[in-house]
């Protein structure tokens, strides 16, 4: 007897392929649903695109692989286009944040608005009792938890997904030991995705020459690179949007005693600030103000741990809940916390949600060089 109908997001990659296999083995009635969220010709994606001369675009290659997988597994595959919606809800946000000099994470917003909203609505049209994806995460008793393989855990990218959105969601890869096991399962079934390279780059867009890619959408305004300690002009940047706090490579400045790191931006004067040494004082802060808060649970801890980057280690934090709905997060000197980044909360193995860094502070004062 079937455990119910589950619609799986089939991307044409190995993770979603194995998610479908595991669900079928567990006794679910599995249906595949492929999302096409980017079209290079419609979206003016020419500069920085390595696939322009290909006979077939990567999205169609992925669809063909998804179709091959579903045929092998004898499950139906449906297809839906969210090209306009992806542009409106994810890519526009990405560009707007870059214009503000911030460091956005489009994968997080893609999960919030596309995979766990529009995708779910489409899955329900197909009669879904559950939806599933190839994320490395777990749901236990309605709670979002880290995956068994912490190195691949993707709960950071699910931090803006609401409690309501997580209802009836399955993450079949949550107990997988490592990526090798995933590929072994795909190989056992003879799937074309078994040895397929993992996708990288911007969510649903793929690998791009980032500098050239952005020229399709944002004006490239050069300006001075300034030593924040001496106020000396050291060189010229190619556009503030191309740099993030803590960055060392790509500055193309020599002749300094120590390595230079990006420590700040002045949008009004179009200045990129740098400082010498990886432990310079400008890279460190002790609190951050968060906006766009999302909790996927009923808990509101005063103390927990948090991540400010995907692969960053957990750090202890204290949360102050402000009357306007924002949260002030206090911590012990952390390096390169940056406006626009996600701060994600954890209690042991549970991911509670998080917020977006609005401003960064030191000794209760906003750092002027961090926007």
Summarize pLDDT for 97-153 with one digit per residue, the tens: 999 999 999 999 999 999 999 999 999 999 999 999 999 999 998 899 999 988 899
pLDDT tops 80 at residue 201? no
Residue 155 backbone dihedrals phi, psi, to 5 degrees: -65, -25
| Mean pLDDT of the 343-347 span | 98
CATH of domain 284-366: 2.40.30.10
Neighbours of 365 (CB within 10 A): 8
Q: Which residues sit opposite 138 in a β-bridge? A: 145
Its pTM stands at 0.94
pLDDT tops 90 at residue 202? no
Residue-level pLDDT at 199: 78
Tell me the domain boundaries of the chain: 5-210, 219-276, 284-366
- Closest by CA position to 21, among listed 8, 4, 34: 8
Give the confidence band of 21 by pLDDT, cuts at 50, 70, 90: very high
Is 271:265 a contact under the CB 8 Å cutoff? yes
Cα 153-325-93 angle, rounded to 5 deg:
60
Rounded to whole angstroms, how far apart are CA atoms 205 and 72? 26
- For residue range 163-195, list pLDDT tens digits in order: 999 999 999 999 998 889 999 999 999 999 999
Residue 321 backbone dihedrals phi, psi, to 5 degrees: -90, 115
Q: How far is CA 330 from CA 64, 287, 305, in A?
A: 48, 4, 11
Q: Yes or no: is domain 5-210 CATH 3.65.10.10?
A: no
In the CATH scheme, what is the homologous superfamily, with its name and number, of domain 219-276? Adenine nucleotide alpha hydrolases-like domains (2.30.30.280)
Domains 5-210 and 219-276 share a fold: no
Q: Which of 132-141, 251-260, 272-281, 287-296 has the lowest mean pLDDT?
A: 251-260
Catalytic residues: 110, 203
* Contact residues for 130 (Cβ-Cβ < 8 A; gap 6+): 4, 5, 6, 7, 28, 168, 169, 170
Residue-level pLDDT at 49: 84
Q: What average pLDDT does the chain have?
A: 94
Residue-level pLDDT at 178: 87
Rg (CA), the chain: 22
Give the confidence band of 56 by pLDDT, cuts at 50, 70, 90: confident
Q: Which of 92-96, 178-182, 228-232 has the lowest mean pLDDT?
A: 178-182
| Mean pLDDT of the 299-312 span | 96
Rounded to whole angstroms, how far apart are CA atoms 138 and 31? 21
């Amino acid at each position: 007897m079937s455990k119910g109908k589950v619609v799986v997001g089939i991307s044409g990659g190995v993770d979603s392929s194995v998610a479908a296999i595991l669900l079928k083995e567990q006794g679910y009635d599995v249906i595949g649903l492929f999302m096409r969220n980017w079209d290079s010709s419609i979206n003016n994606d020419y500069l920085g695109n390595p696939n322009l001369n290909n006979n077939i675009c990567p999205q169609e290659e992925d669809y063909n692989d998804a179709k091959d997988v579903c045929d092998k597994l004898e499950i139906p595959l449906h297809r839906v286009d969210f090209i306009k919606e992806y542009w409106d809800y994810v890519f526009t946000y990405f560009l707007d944040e870059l214009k503000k000099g911030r460091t956005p994470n489009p994968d997080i917003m893609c999960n919030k608005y596309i995979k766990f909203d529009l995708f779910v609505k489409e899955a329900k049209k197909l009669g879904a009792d559950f939806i599933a994806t190839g994320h490395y995460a777990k749901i236990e008793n309605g709670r979002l938890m880290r995956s068994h393989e912490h190195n691949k855990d993707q709960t950071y990218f699910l931090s803006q997904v609401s409690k309501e959105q997580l209802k009836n969601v399955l993450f079949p890869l949550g107990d997988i030991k490592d990526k090798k096991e995933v590929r072994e399962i795909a190989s056992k079934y003879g799937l074309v995705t078994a040895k397929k390279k993992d996708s990288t780059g911007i969510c649903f867009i793929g690998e791009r020459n980032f500098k050239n890619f952005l020229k399709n959408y944002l004006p490239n305004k050069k300006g001075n690179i300034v030593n924040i300690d001496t106020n000396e002009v050291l060189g010229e940047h190619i556009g503030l949007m191309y740099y993030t706090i803590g960055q060392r490579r790509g500055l193309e400045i020599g002749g300094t005693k120590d390595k230079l790191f990006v420590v700040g931006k002045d949008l009004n004067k179009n200045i990129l600030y740098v400082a010498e040494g990886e432990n310079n004082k400008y890279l460190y802060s002790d609190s951050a103000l968060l906006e766009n808060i999302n909790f996927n649970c009923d808990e509101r801890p005063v103390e927990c741990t948090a991540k400010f980057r995907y692969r960053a280690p957990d750090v202890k934090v204290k949360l102050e809940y402000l009357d306007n709905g924002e949260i002030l997060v206090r911590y012990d000197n952390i390096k390169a916390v940056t406006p626009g980044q996600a701060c994600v909360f954890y209690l042991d193995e549970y991911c509670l949600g998080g917020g977006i860094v609005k401003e960064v502070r030191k000794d209760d004062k906003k750092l002027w060089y961090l926007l």
